Amino acid sequence: MSRPDFNLLITLDILLREGSVARAARRLRLSPSAMSRALARLRETVGDPLLVRAGRGLVPTPRALELRERAGQLVQEVESVLRPAEILDLKKLVRTFTLRNRDGFVENFGPDLIARVGAEAPGVRLRFVPKQDKSSAPMRDGSVDLETGVIGDSTGPEVRAQTLFRDRFIGVVRRGHPLSDSTPMTPARYAGGRHILVARREFGRGPVEEALESLGLTRETVTMVGGFSEALALARASDLIATVPERGTGKLRAGLFSFPLPFALPELTISLLWHPRLDADPAHRWLRACVREVCSGQLAEQPTLGNEG
């Protein structure tokens, strides 16, 4: 059996990423005819058409979709093997890292993380962007270097993950709210208030509704917001009740009254997420260690429940 031409792997990676013979030819600095011949060789080698005509463009076959991620990873691994090993000099490192997080992360962990990074690597800048969904696409395309959050069904199977901490939901109201007195909290007292729902799309049933329903209770949800910081801002200025993660909103809850929920809810596992192409990158490994240590240090300083601030 003849050995395959491994140069075709690079061609396959570019073709599947671009989805266009013309664009792939420009990336590889080949003529369109040379690129077409390379595609023909790939089709023969793989035994699949890979890209087929659809209107004026080309669309990938199921086999092409299966190979796209694998081909990219293989090319990156080969490049890393052939690249000289470098000793990371943090004082000389100049790089911008993009971190995608839900609201609360920057407020709770951002100041300490920026200080830690700045002290060790003055040339490194951190760019924080909001996490609107759990799609792994920004990590795949390289627009995001690191994420924090809960692993969901839409998280890519190739994504690397490491647990940062575990969190739980708690109730939060303004100081002086009827629920902030010394009367023991019960499911009925909690359910009897007016509530804020934190959701991205629409009103619906969540874990709180399911837990109350099992107790024969329902709660009145009067408004919906997209994030925990918005929920807490409303709770601060009204008699509404916010239900938020305890550790993920520590500093956002300053001046508010927090209480444990009087019924059981599943814990949240907050993870550190990144694409495998960055797994062995020395600078990225250093940044991951910084995030882990900052989050660990912050957890040791979490306030007790009650009147905070």
Domain ranges for the chain: 7-82, 95-167+269-307, 169-266
Q: Which two tokens stand for residue 4?
A: 């395959």
CATH fold match for the domains 95-167+269-307 and 169-266: yes
Whether residue 299 contacts residue 247, with contact meaning beta carbons closer than 8 Å, is answered with: yes
CATH of domain 169-266: 3.40.190.10
- Could you tell me how many helices (H) and strands (E) the chain has, helices first? 10, 13
If you search the block for the tokens 């209480």, which residue do you land on? Answer: 259
**Residue, of 69 and 278, whose pLDDT is higher:** 278
* CA dist., res. 268 & res. 151, Å (int): 10
Instruction: Provide the CATH number for the domain formed by 7-82 in this structure.
Output: 1.10.10.10
Mean of pLDDT values over 287-303: 79
How many Å apart are CA 273 and CA 102, to the nearest integer? 13
Distance CA 253, CA 180 (A): 14
3-state secondary structure of 217: coil
Examine the pLDDT at 177 and tell me if it is beyond 60: yes
Q: Which residues contact 282 (CB under 8 A, 6 or more apart)?
A: 86, 88
DSSP-assigned beta bridge partners for residue 268: 167
Does domain 95-167+269-307 correspond to CATH entry 3.40.50.970?
A: no
d(CA 244, CA 247): 9
What pLDDT sits at residue 117?
97
Tell me: pLDDT of 166 over 90.
yes
Q: How many Å apart are CA 298 and CA 218, to the nearest integer?
A: 35
What is the rounded (10 degree) CA torsion for 253, 129, 292, 299?
0
Per the document, the length of the chain is: 309
Interval 187-202: pLDDT, tens: 999 999 999 999 876 6
* Distances from the Cα of 307 to the Cα of 25, 131, 180, 186, 195, angstroms: 64, 29, 8, 18, 19
8, 12, 14, 15 alpha-carbon torsion, rounded to 10°: 130
Per-position DSSP letters for 235-287, written without gaps between them: HHTSS-BEEEETGGGTGGGTTEEEEE-SS--PPEEEEEEE-GGGTT-HHHHHH
Cα 101 from Cα 105, distance rounded (Å): 6
CA angle 13, 19, 25 (to 5 degrees): 70
**Which residues pair with residue 51 across a beta bridge?**
60
Which of these, 307, 5, 4, lies nearest to 174 by C-alpha position? 307
pTM for the predicted model, two decimal places? 0.67
Residue 56 has a pLDDT of 79
| Range with the poorest average pLDDT among 22-36, 68-82, 260-274 | 68-82
Average confidence (pLDDT) over 45-50: 87
The answer to whether the beta carbons of residues 146 and 287 sit under 8 Å apart is yes
